[in-house]
Amino acid sequence: MQVANQSIIAIDRTAQRAQVNVVEDAEINYWTSALGVTEDALRRAVANAGTVPADVRDYLGVKPSIPMAGGSWGTAQ
């Protein structure tokens, strides 16, 4: 049951992030970990694709694996 609870918590945290934030350190850490990219790659993706998580993921070529806000998908952690 603990694994299921952890999955729900991970999905809930992801759903709270409707935009990719590259201003706050905690958000940068979250997104680089969630997407499996460096900070430079994340910043380039946001500069080119905008702050919508699905658009950033598509720009980076990251395959979806967990639901995110607005029906988009992010990577599993």
Q: The domain containing residue 64 runs over which residues? A: 2-74
Q: By C-alpha distance, which of 37, 41, 45 is closest to 19?
A: 45
What's the mean per-residue pLDDT of the chain?
Answer: 78
Considering its fold, how many domains does the chain have in total? 1
**Helix/strand/coil for 63:** coil
pLDDT above 90 covers what percent of the chain? 57
Confidence of residue 76 (pLDDT cuts 50, 70, 90): very low
Q: Are 20 and 28 in contact (CB under 8 A)?
A: no
Q: Are 55 and 62 in contact (CB under 8 A)?
A: no
**Helix/strand/coil for 66:** strand
pLDDT digits (tens, 9 = 90+) for 19-50: 999 999 999 999 999 999 999 999 999 999 99
Residue 68 has pLDDT above 70, yes or no: no
So what's the pLDDT on residue 8?
A: 44
